A and B are shown apart, each in its own frame.
Chain A
Amino acid sequence: MKHARILATALAVGLAPIAAKAQSMSPMRGEVNSFTDVFAVRVFPANPYDRKIQVEIHVYDQDFQPVDARISPNVFQLASQASRPVLVVVPFDGTTERKVRICTESIPFPNQQTQIRAQICGKFFGHRKS
C-alpha cells in the first residue's frame, strides 16, 4: 500500500509545473490518473507580500465540504516572495472519480475589525484506473 501511494505521488509530480513567484497557488487546474485508492497532487502556494504570512491549505469537495485528505504541510509560515511545494493525497472513498478543490488560505492582516481571508482554490479531478 505504501508503495502504491508513492507511485500515485510520482504520477502527480508530473502535474506540477515549476513554481513561479507572485502567484498565490499553482497549478489551479489538473487531472490525475491513479492506480490506487488515492491520488496525489503537488501544489505550490506562494507569498506575494513583502513580509512573512501564515498559509493554510484545505481540501474541499464540490459542495465546499471538507475532505479528509492528507496535506503535508497543512499550516506553515511562508517568507516574502517565497513559494514551497505542498503534497496533497486525496482518497477516492470508493469512487472511480473525484473532484476536489485545493485551497490556499491566508489572513495577511489578522486582529483587525474586518479581516479579509484571501482564498485561492484550484480544481482537481482524480481518475482511478483499474
Chain B
Amino acid sequence: MALFRAAFGAALLVASIDQTALATTQNVIFNGTVAPTCTLVVATTGTMTVSPDLQSLSSHNSGGSAGTVTLTTTGGVSLSVDPVTTTTAPSADSTSTTWTPTYSAAGAHSIVETGSATSISTPGADLVSVHLAGTKGGSNRFANGNYQATVTLRCE
C-alpha cells in the first residue's frame, strides 16, 4: 500500500510538471495609423514699410518685419501661399499695386523664400516667416495713409 501511494504521488507530480510545461505565450498586437495632419499657429503679424522711392511697400524694407507662423506636421502635406486678394488702401491711392506674398521656413525643414508650393514629406516643427511686398510701376507712388493686406498661408 505504501508503495502504491508513493507511485501514485510520483505520477501526480510528473503530471503536474507536464501541465506547467504546457503553458504558452500569446502576442498582443497593437496597430496605429497616423494620418497627415498640420497645425498652423500665427505668432506675429507682419509689418510693411515704404521704400525711399515710395514704390515699394514691403516687409523686406528697412523697419519692416515678416509675420511668423509655427507649423507642426506629420509630413505628407503641402505648404503654400495664395495670391493676395483682400487689400485696403487710402483713398489718395488710386493706382494699382502688385502684391507678392512669399514665405520661408526654418526648423525641421529648411525652405528658402518662395512663392510656390512646397511639399513636406517628413514630420517636424518649423517657424515659417511670411513676407508681403507691394510694388508700383512707372511714376506711381504709395500715398499717405493706412494700407492693409491679408496673406493666406495654406497647409493641405
Contacts and interface: CB of A to CB of B under 8 A. Distances in A.
Contacts of B77: 28
Interface residues of B, number: 32
B67 interface: yes
B45 A114 contact: yes
Residue of A112, A118, A121, A123 most packed against chain B (CB within 10 A): A118
A119 B154 contact: yes
A113 B146 contact: yes
Interface residues of A, number: 28
B94 interface: no
Interface string B31-58: 0000111111110111110000000000
29 contacts: A17-B35, A24-B40, A24-B155, A26-B35, A27-B35, A28-B35, A28-B37, A28-B156, A29-B35, A48-B41, A49-B41, A112-B148, A113-B48, A113-B149, A114-B47, A114-B59, A114-B148, A115-B148, A116-B45, A117-B152, A118-B42, A118-B69, A119-B152, A119-B154, A120-B38, A120-B39, A120-B154, A120-B155, A121-B156
A109 interface: yes
Contact of A115 (B39, B41, B151, B155): B151
Contacts of B36: 28-29
Contacts of A119: 40, 82, 152-156
B130 interface: yes
A108 interface: yes
A108 B59 contact: no
Interface string B52-95: 00000001000000010100100001000010000000000000
Contacts of B121: none
A122 B155 CA distance: 9
| Across the A-B interface, the 3 shortest Cβ-Cβ residue pairs | A121-B156, A114-B46, A118-B40
A23 to B, nearest CB: 5
A108 B42 contact: yes
B150 interface: yes
Interface in A16-42: 17, 22-24, 26-29
B132 interface: yes
A29 B39 CA distance: 15
